[in-house]
Amino acid sequence: MATADWNSLLQQSNDLVGQEYNNVPRVERTLPQLQQYADALRSRTNRFRGPAEHAAATRLLAQQGLDATRLTTEVVALEIVPTIEDVFHADTGNVEEYLQQVEEATLLAAIQEAQQESVASFESYMESCMARDWAANKRQLFGLIAPNNLVGAGPGGGGLGGGLGGGPQPLIGRTAGGGLSFGAPALRLSPKEAAYVEVVKRMATQAAAATGAGGGGASGSGVDVVRDFLKACKDNEDKAPGQDTHISSVWALLADVLAEAKQRGLAPSAPAGGAAGGGVAGGSGRYVEALAAGARKHLERGFKSHVRSTISRYKLAAERGADPDYLREVQAYVQVKFRDRGALDFAAPGGAGMDTSWIQLFYALRSGDDAAARRAADRCGELLLAAGGGGGLGGMGGGGLFGAGRAGLGGSSVRPLVDEWLGGGCRLSERSAQALSREAERLLRDKNGLRHSPKAPYQALVCALLAGDARSMDALGGVLQALQLPPILSTIEDFMWAKLAVVAGSSGGGAAGGGAAAGAAAAASGGVVAGVQPYSLADLQADINRWPPQYYSKQSREPLLYVTVLVLSLQLGAALRFLWRDDTAKPYRLDAVHMGLALQAEGALAALGAVSDASAASSNSASTSSAAAAASADVATMALAYGRKFLAAGDAATALYYYWLAAGARGGGLAVKGALLRELLAGGRDFGTLLGGGGAGARGALHALVPDPEERRRLFEGVAYECQMCAQPEEAVELYLAADRPTAALSLINSQMSAAIAAAADEAAAAAPGGGAMSPAPGSAPAADRLERIARSGRAAAERLTGVRLAPGAPPPAAAAPSAAVAADPAARRELEAFWQLGVIRDLLVAARRGRHDQALQRLSELPFIPTERSRLDLCVRMSTQLHPAIAERLQDIISTAADSIAARRQQVGREAAAGLAGELAVITAYANSMAGARLPQAVYRKLAEAQVFMS
């Protein structure tokens, strides 16, 4: 601040001092005094007291029973938390009105919170629905783009023979670990998939052994392949995400369905003993009946487990006790089910409770316990049955169900009917079935009885069940729904069990109906069996198929539930197609493949298809293809698609098992096996692994599937001929060698070698136009490599013929005496000589192209049909008319090369040697002019003329 400002402030202060203001206090203290006064004030306001005050406070608190140290700790640790004050203002004058106001406000707040939670739950549900729909649309789109993730992208993916010749390199001479499999990606299998593959190998091998021994395949060899697959699935269970049903349950169901037929000793192709219809209505009909019984018993075992689990959950209400009788277990289940109805007859003293006799009978039948069902039937009392006509019912024999001379209404015990139904395979005699059907209709008309008596619906259902009356059973469900009563067959398991029991009852007329075959034929044709409208297996399948798969699979969340329903209704082909093609069942396509192979091996698909075909023929329905053929074709398609996965990965041995089983599904004929084997050889190129390296007796992968050497030889010969006709000479060569047909193989090798020699010679000329090594580096000359592979195969065929093993670079055994087999076979001797001569021609042409004309002329003298002397001209001309076709194709190249080599050699030799070369050229020219039938091109004669001009 400036000096003038300080002066002005000082002047103002003096002026104020000079004025007398009484209101302004005057401070008469110095600065030290003010500091002392401030310290005194600070000491009074300090929160911490001195030692004297602290001791006094501690004594005071101790007198009141308080611990000063603990109180200090709690005060320091005290955290002040704001509390919610009462938001309801006391607008009223009394407590009652205030509490009513608080209650109303609380209810309003609760309603608002519930509304908010409902809105949030609805929004969350809609988001989950949109996410599920979006995921389904995405799966459908990806399914259209790549519908099958099991199909390999190998060369054989285009069907039979679709990838033949797909590789640019030839196949001759390749053994295990061929060129394509060397660079193929390694195939990693899950533990479950690896276990399935092992079962397939064992199944195919045992089926081949059984077929070779005169058996009927896997189903006739005592091998339960479905049980094997079930064990492999359970040991390596992989549950699909978001699904509660396991695929092992489907395998277990299939095993139970097939087990009943095996227990009865029935095979799909077994003839019917004494069947009137024979064929389909006989053996296949009985087999299908056994399958339906197996499905029904599977449901009965499942219901037994349900009864036990229900009793264990409600132990106090069940009052099971220690009685081992299963009827007591049924009563405990009934007591739990009707625990709100008061006392029941078996629990109340003197039987004064609610009558549950028919309820016990139904659940005993539902559990499949025959002994318990018979004892429960004894408690049901008598039935009032209306007799049709004047006679009594012919039940279990003698006097019938009515007493002698009784007409109109008659009393009958239920026990004989139950015995007849259980003993006759869910069938009753004609009169018994008619009477029970009328009794069921009478009970259905009595609406008051159904409404007020809990046992009446069960009585009507049991009567319809014993009579095999499906219409009364369906009508009961409609009546109960109209009366708003709980249904009895409330689950799909109960519904399927009742329908399967009715199907069994309608499939034959028992003792009076003429046997199972006649009943099956009558049911298929729509006739009346046992006086009741029959309910066939086709009717059950039609009822099931009225609803889409989403109805059974919880809106496609549990696709295996729909598969279970299809298997229970014996729609095995439809179940396989659903598992293989439907997008929701994509995680189970591996199981679909092996399930189809197992059912095909068991013969179940063929038996069911035969019955369906018979039913369609009897109903005059137009069918373009057989159901059995369609199911087998589906199995073959799945097996081929899965096998190509291994083929693309280079595992041709594993792919062979699936190809072989696919061939069996298509009929197993030689033509089918040959076509699939051709595709496998063309795609895998692994001849050594598949065919073996020592002829038809060698142990290749096919040895396990075709153990008989003679049958294997016939197969190889047939497939080799097909390959030869389809322009697949490389595969044909390997198959002929595997079939111990070296002569045929050598014939093809000579043809291939003749064409390859020209390409190798041109390649040698382009690689080393100025001369060079005789053998280029491996891999740098594809034509030479191909020619070497062909020659290697030819040497193998020659070794088979002569029995002499030669090194790759050894000269041909021209001076060696031929073996007895070759000497006795002119065709073999001709092919063998042609092969050795083609080897000489190869050396001749390649040496000339590389400028080694001296070596070329040396090789030329080794050809017996090329004259180098005038004395041999006529002999060579006669030999040229009988040349092998493969050598005749190269004759023009030989003559042209000879002319070039003689002309080139003229500059490198003296006059005397040149004269000899000129004489050889003249002989060769005369030889060419003498072959009128050879039709050599004009280029050959021009080259000979140029060489003669040059030599002169």
User: For 832-891, what is each residue's pLDDT tens digit?
Assistant: 888 888 989 998 888 888 888 888 888 888 888 888 888 888 888 888 888 888 888 888
Tokens representing 722?
Answer: 């097909």
Q: Is residue 947 part of a domain?
A: yes
Q: Is residue 317 part of a domain?
A: no
| pLDDT at residue number 598 | 92
Torsion angle in degrees (nearest 10) through CA of 398, 400, 404, 409: 180
From the list 471, 527, 546, the residue with the least C-alpha distance to 502 is 471
| pLDDT at residue number 152 | 38
- What domain count does the chain have? 2
Per-residue pLDDT tens digits for 712-721: 888 888 888 8
CA angle at 948 for the pair 945 and 952, rounded to the nearest 5°: 145
Per-residue pLDDT tens digits for 328-360: 889 899 989 888 888 888 877 666 788 888 999
| pLDDT at residue number 224 | 83
Torsion angle in degrees (nearest 10) through CA of 121, 123, 124, 130: 140
Domain boundary, last residue among 570, 588, 605: 605
**Cα distance between residue 110 and residue 104, in whole Å:** 10
**Most confidently modeled of 62-66, 359-363, 795-799?**
359-363
| pLDDT at residue number 747 | 87
**Cα distance between residue 23 and residue 392, in whole Å:** 140
Helix (H, G, I), strand (E, B) or coil at 83: coil
Q: Mean pLDDT score of the chain, rounded to an integer?
A: 77
Q: Is residue 238 part of a domain?
A: yes
Domain boundary, last residue among 586, 605, 624: 605
Q: Is residue 97 part of a domain?
A: no
Helix (H, G, I), strand (E, B) or coil at 449: helix
Q: Is the pLDDT of residue 391 over 50?
A: no
Which range of residues forms the domain containing residue 583?
224-301+545-605
Q: Span 622-645, mean pLDDT?
A: 79
Q: In this structure, what DSSP letter does residue 53 have?
A: H
Local confidence band at 212 (pLDDT 50, 70, 90 cut-offs): low
Q: Is the pLDDT of residue 169 over 60?
A: no
Q: Span 795-816, mean pLDDT?
A: 65
H or E element that contains 386: strand 382-386
Per-residue pLDDT tens digits for 645-664: 888 888 888 888 999 899 88
DSSP 132-173: HHHHHHHHHHHHHHSS-TT---SGGGGSTTTTTT-SSS--TT
Q: Is the pLDDT of residue 180 over 90?
A: no
**Cα distance between residue 237 and residue 93, in whole Å:** 73
Q: Is the pLDDT of residue 563 over 90?
A: yes
Domain boundary, last residue among 589, 605, 621: 605
From the list 459, 469, 467, 444, the residue with the least C-alpha distance to 393 is 467
**Most confidently modeled of 21-25, 199-203, 503-507?**
199-203
| pLDDT at residue number 164 | 29
From the list 801, 681, 682, 788, the residue with the least C-alpha distance to 737 is 801
Q: Is the pLDDT of residue 561 over 90?
A: yes
Which of residues 414 and 393 earns the better pLDDT score? Answer: 414
Per-residue pLDDT tens digits for 298-319: 999 999 999 999 998 988 888 8
Q: Is residue 572 part of a domain?
A: yes
Q: Is residue 579 part of a domain?
A: yes
| pLDDT at residue number 23 | 62
Which of residues 777 and 332 earns the better pLDDT score? Answer: 332
What percent of the chain is modeled with pLDDT above 90? Answer: 16
Q: Span 730-754, mean pLDDT?
A: 85
**Cα distance between residue 783 and residue 762, in whole Å:** 9
Alpha helices of 507-555 — where are they, by DSSP H? 510-513, 515-525, 537-544, 549-552
Which of residues 560 and 823 earns the better pLDDT score? Answer: 560
Q: Is residue 584 part of a domain?
A: yes
Q: Is residue 936 part of a domain?
A: yes
Q: In this structure, what DSSP letter does residue 186 have?
A: P
